[in-house]
Structure 1
Amino acid sequence: MHRRRRRSFAAAVALVVLLLAAVVTAVTADTGATTATPVIVATVCGNATAAADRQEGFDVSFVNALELIYQNVTRSGYGAASSGDGDAVYGLGQCMAYLSPTDCQLCYAQSRVKLPHCLPSTSGRIYLDGCFLRYDSHNFTAVATDAADTAACSSNLTVNSPNFAAAASALLRNVTAAAPGATGYYYAAASASAALRRARGSPPRVYAAAQCWRSLNASACAACVASAAERVVRRCLPRGAGEGYGLNAGCVVRYSTLPFYLPANVAAGGGGSSTRHIIIVVIASVFSALAVIGIALAWAKLRNTWAKLRNRRNDHHEDMDESSEIIRAFAASHLSFKYEELRKATDDFNQINKLGQGGYGSVYKGVLLDGREIAVKRLFFNTRQWADQFFNEVRLVSQVQHKNLVKLLGCSVEGPESLLVYEYLCNTSLDHYLFDAFKKTALDWERRSEIILGTAEGLSYLHNASEIRIIHRDIKASNILLDERFRPKIADFGLARNFMEDQSHLSTGLAGTFGYMAPEYIVHGQLTEKADIYSYGVLVLEIITGRKNHNSVASSAEGHSLMSLIWKHYNAGTLMELLDPNLREQCTEEEALKVFHVGLLCAQASPNLRPPMWKVVEMLGSRGKELPRPTQPPFINIKGSNAKSNSSGSLSLLSNSDKSPFSLNQLSVSGVQAR
């Protein structure tokens, strides 16, 4: 049955492609125009790859850089951006000057979908018929030529005439000489007659254009187009190719027997509204087909992911049937949103509406047609871990409902990217207030107490009260969102994991954020709910002190991390000195010390000594009840120049049971930043 489903899936995709090809071929025959989908001329992927423990950070930077470029390309046809620090990605995208704004957006959208196929390579570039997109781990924007420069010659267009080669060479010299002097755009285009008449009709014409990227200066542009023109003349014209591209790092030079740089209606001698209508139909067909194929691919990946989870119960036949049922139910459920609806709600993912950057995409504010405000998490399914991330978050969050958990409203799997739709929380995340000297005044004692208790109640529900046991794995201030009354809601379940009934722990790859990760999880990779409790303890201590844990080594005058500083004051009986000054007149000493005490109990080095979350809720709600004495927490210090970041560095841990610190050199962990 499974093989029949796979054959049906493949046949359906093939049918869509064949139908689309038939439509495009018919339009091309009738109008003489090219297809609406931009043609890929060349794709060049680098050989180097990021280290395995840094790949996820590189992917995050990659997605963010391409998104920043998109914002500029849609406005001006050109964009360059960089993202990330230790895992920096630089990108550049540009449309040829002859493209209309609409065609430019279509071309960039196509390049944005195809370029991620180069991952996990740390560099890649793609040349389309009308636009260019590139990324790399170093800043290349001023580079005009490099070793990856190439040429592409058409095998579909041929001209048997020595005069044509001479005319094309002369024309290329003219446009490459003119392009560097074209202020702002470095673009020149022209045409000429081949001067040799055919047996009947007018002489054949040759059309040429040259354009440099706007990041170059005029002299670099001149060198670039000269090099590209020489290459295309040397490789394409001797073969009688009627079309050729010189593809350099900083420019593109092209000649053709087709008037590629002229508007379609001019090139075709008119055509009017009927031609435009047919082209619109083709564009719609292309995007419909992409949407269908995208959904089909997404469902196939979701099936595979679910199959892996179910295989743990060694029930292969039931697995496939249940997987198919889940996919069908998902498609028919109220959770399904149309991509176009969400695109309009976010004003085409306008940068103004961006709320923040998540581990696998960005989050935007949107307003639906019925007036509801939403938060849309934008995921690109071409990243390698997309299926796990997307399905995990949908599957887990749709099964849990609690006042202190962000509510998932739905999702969309259409097109080249997938979207998660959440309720919108107007006060964004806790870190925006807690670590800002001016905004933190909005967090008085009452609100901080409610945030501490509400987060504990949400975690207690995940660990004990929901139908499935869930470990969040990334509890931190940026993943605690605040509603209009500053009530907390736990967000971002992309790293969450659930337990089977017979499991005591999970052995899993390291993921989370330095400063919040439990020591036993860092060292052994064994995950239990005690890891969440440790993260919660660190969060509580951050809330009451107003200090950020993983920045404290660099910012503390005494050179201590927040944990070691709190432990030092605890033993000296001077914890009140660390209380956030904004809270000094708002709470009693007894109230403050109890919160310090609970935070230290949750952050103890030994996981067995940390209280379960239901017990933490009980402690916070009780009055006058004596609490057990905490043991020393682990001291995690990030040394060296990276102390202020959560990127790789030298890490040392020291606790009661380990008086000799050991190091984990170059340990890099997924630093997932929520909205």
Structure 2
Amino acid sequence: MLFTMLLVSMLSHSALSSTVPLLTICSSAFTYSPNDQFAANLKRLLDALSSNTAQNIPNRPGFYNTSLDVLQDRVYGQALCRGDISSHDCQECVHNATHYIFTNCNKTDAIIWYELCQVRYSQSPSLAIEVYTGNLLDYNNQENKIVSKKTRFRKALMYLMNNLSIESAFSPSKHMFATGKIEFSKKKTIYGLVQCTMDIPPELCKQCLDSALGDIDACCSFRQGGIVLGTNCNVRFELFQFYNDTKNSPLVYPFPKGDEWKIWKTLVVTCTSILLLAIIIGSCAVYLRQKKGTKRDDTKENALLQELARPKTVMITQEGNLVTSEELPFIDLATIRAATDEFADSNKLGEGGFGSVYKGELPDGTEVAVKRLSLKSRQGLEELKNEVILIAKLQHRNLVRLVGCGIEGDEKLLLYEFMPNGSLDFFIYDSERRCQLNWETYYNIIAGIARGLLYLHEDSRHKIIHRDLKPSNVLLDHDMVAKISDFGMARIFCENQNAANTKKIVGTYGYIAPEYAMGGVFSIKSDVFSFGVILLEIISGKKNSGSYLTEYGHTLLSYAWRSWKDGQEVEFVDPWLMESSPPHEVLRCLHIGLLCVQEDPEDRPKMSEVVVSLRGSESVSLSEPKQPAFALGRLVPSDQSTVYPTMNGLTLSTILPR
């Protein structure tokens, strides 16, 4: 099940005002103008949602979806009211939501949540098929106190919410909505509510709720309340009755018998085990201190392996990212060996910095690319954990999908969707293979890379910096759709974080931004620089790492800049490309590429601006580019260079500015 979910931890009843939105997301990169046809269609659609959602309450409680298409500007929309409210309250809430979202969001895809309803519209028809991008938000609510008797509370909470999920999904009379309560002590009761939109089948409703409860369990099962807001399902619990008790009869669940004794028994066994373990560790302390540093590394490696492979585990990163092993299928080694014919050389697709990649076919016929990390590489394990945490929940058309993970003994394996057309570098550097693709395909590849980066930088649950974007990390599927891959070096940024500094420079020479190569400072603008280099390479058919002794400069970037400055842009573009494509489109891409590789990160555009520029064609004006970074730079002689270790086994030489 693919869906979008935002996790909110908040408790005070006053914080959930019925007149103030809980959350609004204007997620599309594309905007509309107040006077265009899309705006007119959207206004009519939102009015229809407001008037029709409440009318459906007798038969299909508080849910309505529709679409409108005038002059081929189609827009889809849906509204959902909480199942325990009246028709009047439903209509009022949807009216407020549609008015607010139309007034405050000019994007072509948006969703808004109130306490009593939610409204969404989109250009896409697949409103019921959503991408999971869970996000943990810390509101620092002082009233959201930690409960006492955490184990008993969690047991009661999950027992209640799991039962409510089953009722809402599979009981037709519930209309995918259920409320209930459970008494976990003599004076305290937990109240719960779950609901799904009615455009999905019961099985997907249950799957959506299970995933939401997984995040509730990870973040809030020891607190006095929590809410999950999703496009297809919502979950909430409190220690006070927040729903209408008369509108929809709540379910009452008794606390499972024997739990108190089980809890004490568990505590006694756990404490005893810890004590015995402490004695064993103490008796071996002298021996452990004599072990070499490599043994400490092995211990850390084993801990990472156990963390990844533990069944039903929840991994929470320092950035608040949630990943559960239930969400990422773990595939046994025997299945992977059979899929790759025992990692046969005939199935080998290539060699990377951390190991080999093989083609395989799973028992269900799914073709996969199996990334087999080096058997004894601790760096490979760090990369594996980073990729699992990052990609497990990242789902986008222009990102390679992680199918599964295999960890057994020394074997560390990642399984991705198979890309039959290989990587972008296979086509752009070879004069014969370049001609196999037309300009439309190249243009779509450029736009696809841009959309993938936009998702990572602005539209995913966290701001993610790839840090190793290059043509070999852009893969092409059956339809030549570009998909960004290899997230082993990626970094997550906090919501308000714009840049970070590191002493360990990673990446590939030729694609690293100057501020990162020389000062260790990286940001979303570092990825923009890498994108600009790839764009210039696609247009010219040349590598940035090469040397071009022409009248226009010594490097690809200086070559592009001098050609542009002297009005000789066609000298830079591959002649075949210029002959087989609309010249204005190619030259516009050259213009965008030069804007992306400017020396000052502040001068480079954001990926949202790049996407709009590519999509807007001549209607979107572009600023004049400045001289790019290292346009006349040179490598320091090897005996004078400062070498930085990198995670992929490469080294970087310090580069002198102009």
- The TM-score, its normalising length taken from structure 2, stands at 0.50
Residues in 1 aligned to 2:317 and 2:474: alpha-carbon distance in whole angstroms: 31
* Equivalent residue number for residue 384 of structure 2: 390
> What corresponds to 1:435 in structure 2?
429
Question: Residues 10 and 365 from structure 1, CA distance in 2 versus in 1: closer, same or farther, beyond 3 angstroms?
Answer: farther
Q: 1:629 aligned to 2:624?
A: yes
* Equivalent of residue 552 in structure 1, options 547, 554, 562: 547
Give 1:628 shift: 0.3
Deviations 1:93-113 (Å, cap 9, x if unpaired)? xxxxxxxxxxxxxxxxxxxxx
Match of 1:616 among 610, 618, 642: 610
C-alpha spacing 1:556/1:485, structure 2 compared with 1 (3 Å): farther
TM-aligned CA deviation for residue 501 of structure 1: 2.1
The residue type paired with residue 393 of structure 1 is E
Q: Distance in 1 between matches of 2:394 and 2:632?
A: 36
2:596 matched residue in structure 1: 602
Equivalent of 1:493, from 487, 494, 501? 487
What is the letter of the counterpart of residue 299 of structure 1? Q
Alignment match, 1:462: 456
2:524 is aligned to 529
Match of 1:541 among 536, 557, 565: 536
After superposition, the Cα gap between the structure-2 partners of 1:592 and 1:9, relative to the gap in structure 1 and judged at 3 Å, is farther
Report the Cα distance in structure 1 between the residues aligned to 2:273 and 2:632, rounded to whole angstroms: 54
Q: Does 1:589 align with 2:596?
A: no
How many corresponding residue pairs? 367
- The amino acid of 2:305's aligned partner reads A
* 8 Å Cα contact 2:544-2:556 kept in structure 1: yes
The answer as to whether partners of 2:304 and 2:385 remain within 8 angstroms in 1 is no
Aligned equivalent of 2:189: none
Seen in structure 2, the aligned counterparts of structure 1 residues 373 and 117 have a Cα distance that, compared at 3 Å, is: farther
Alpha-carbon spacing, 1:310–1:294, altered in 2? closer, same or farther (3 Å): closer
Inter-CA distance 670–635: structure 2 relative to 1 (3 Å threshold): farther
Q: Is the 8 A contact 1:651 1:667 kept in 2?
A: no
Shift in Å at residue 667 of structure 1? 5.0
Q: 1:384 Cα deviation (Å)?
A: 2.4
Shift of 1:505: 1.5
2:305 is aligned to 298
Q: Which has the higher helix share?
A: 1
Q: State the 1:4 CA deviation.
A: 6.1
| In 2, Cα distance between equivalents of 1:524 and 1:428 | 34
Q: CA deviation at 1:446?
A: 0.7
Q: How does 1:476-487 map to 2 (within 5 A)?
A: 476-487=470-481
Aligned AA (1:371): G
Deviation at 1:457, TM superposition (A): 0.5
Of 515, 530, 537, which residue of structure 2 is paired with 1:520?
Answer: 515
**Which runs of structure 2 are paired with 1:348-367 in the superposition (5 Å)?**
348-367=342-361
CA contact (8 A) 1:381 1:387 kept: no
Name the counterpart of 1:343.
337
Cα deviation, residue 369, structure 1? 1.8
Secondary structure of 1:382 counterpart: coil
Counterpart amino acid of residue 367 in structure 1: E
Counterpart contact for 2:533–2:597, Cα < 8 Å = yes
| 1:491-512 Cα distance to aligned partner (Å, 9 max, x none) | 0011111111242222222100
- DSSP 3-state at the match of 2:598: coil
Q: Deviations over 1:351-401 (max 9, x none)?
A: 221111223221110011222110001113632223421111011111211
For residue 348 of structure 1, give the secondary structure of its aligned residue in structure 2.
coil
Partner of 1:571: 565
Describe the shift of the 1:465–1:348 C-alpha distance in structure 2 as closer, same or farther (beyond 3 A): same
Please give the root-mean-square deviation of Cα atoms over the aligned residues, in Å: 3.9
Once the two structures are superposed, residues 380-430 of structure 1 have per-residue CA deviations (whole angstroms, 9 ceiling, x without a partner) of 363222342111101111121110000001101112111000000100100
Aligned to 1:201: none
Asked whether the 8 Å contact 2:553–2:559 carries over to 1, the reply is no
- Secondary structure of the 2:586 match is helix
Q: Structure 1 unaligned runs (5+)?
A: 15-46, 48-115, 121-289, 314-321, 641-648, 653-662
CA distance in 2, matches of 1:546, 1:4: 63
> 2 CA distance for matches of 1:459 and 1:626?
22
Is structure 2 residue 506 aligned with structure 1 residue 506? no
Q: What is the correspondence of 1:149-168 to structure 2 with a 5 Å cutoff? A: none
Q: Residues 479, 577 of structure 1: CA spacing in aligned structure 2 closer, same or farther, 3 A cutoff?
A: same
Structure 1 position 552, deviation (Å): 2.9
Cα pair distance change 1:664/1:311, threshold 3 Å: same
Contact 2:373–2:411, Cα closer than 8 Å, also in 1: yes
Cα deviation for residue 522 of structure 1 reads 1.1
Partner of 2:555: 561
Instruction: Specify the alignment match of 2:419 in structure 1.
Output: 425
**Contact map agreement 1:638 1:651 (CA 8 A) in 2:** no
Distance 1:592 1:665, change over 3 A: same
Summarize deviations over 1:181-202 as a string: whole Å, max 9, x none: xxxxxxxxxxxxxxxxxxxxxx
- 2:357 match: secondary structure: strand
1:475 to partner: Cα distance = 0.8
| One-letter amino acid of the counterpart of residue 570, structure 1 | W
**Other-structure match for 2:41:** none
CA distance in 2, matches of 1:609, 1:558: 23
Distance across 1 between alignment mates of 2:375 and 2:490: 19
Distance 1:525 1:476 in 2: 19
SS of structure 1 residue aligned to 2:413: strand
Q: Helix, strand or coil for the counterpart of 2:435? A: helix
1:496 & 1:589 partners in 2: Cα distance?
Answer: 36
Quick one: structure 1 residues 558 and 577, their matched pair in 2 at CA, closer, same or farther if it must change by over 3 Å?
Answer: closer
- Write the mapping of 1:264-303 to structure 2, written as runs, cut at 5 A: 298-300=305-307
Query: Which residue in the other structure is 2:19 paired with?
Result: none
Distance 1:6 1:407, change over 3 A: farther
Q: Is the 8 A contact 1:353 1:365 kept in 2?
A: yes
SS of match in other structure, 2:617: coil
Specify every segment of 5 or more residues in structure 2 that has no aligned partner in the other structure, as ranges: 1-266, 281-291, 651-658
Taking a change above 3 Å as real, the CA distance of residues 9 and 476 of structure 1, as seen in their structure-2 partners, is farther
Q: Summarize deviations over 1:234-259 as a string: whole Å, max 9, x none.
A: xxxxxxxxxxxxxxxxxxxxxxxxxx
Q: 1:567 to 1:296 in 2, by over 3 A?
A: closer
How much has 1:118 moved relative to structure 2? 10
| Partner Cα separation in structure 2 for residue 435 and residue 596 of structure 1 | 17
Matched-pair contact (CA < 8 Å) for 2:319–2:493? no
Q: Which residue of 2 aligns with 1:644?
A: none
CA distance in 2, matches of 1:471, 1:301: 23
Structure 1 6/667 Cα, relative in aligned 2: closer, same or farther at 3 Å?
farther
> 1:442 and 1:535, CA in 2 relative to 1: closer, same or farther beyond 3 A?
same
Contact 1:638 1:650 in 2 (8 A): no
Letter of the aligned partner of 2:418 in structure 1? Y
CA distance in 2, matches of 1:476, 1:334: 27
* Secondary structure at the counterpart of residue 425 of structure 2: helix
* Pair member with larger Rg: 1
SS in 2 for 1:427: coil
Paired with 2:632 and 2:506, the residues of 1 have a C-alpha distance of 18
C-alpha separation between the residues in 1 aligned to 2:275 and 2:397? 40
State the shift of 1:637 in Å: 7.0
Distance 1:614 1:593 in 2: 20
Change (3 A) 1:311 1:613: closer
User: Structure 1 residues 310 and 665, CA, compared in 2 at 3 Å: closer, same or farther?
Assistant: closer
The answer to whether the 8 A contact 2:349-2:357 is kept is yes
Query: 1:546 deviation in Å?
Result: 0.7
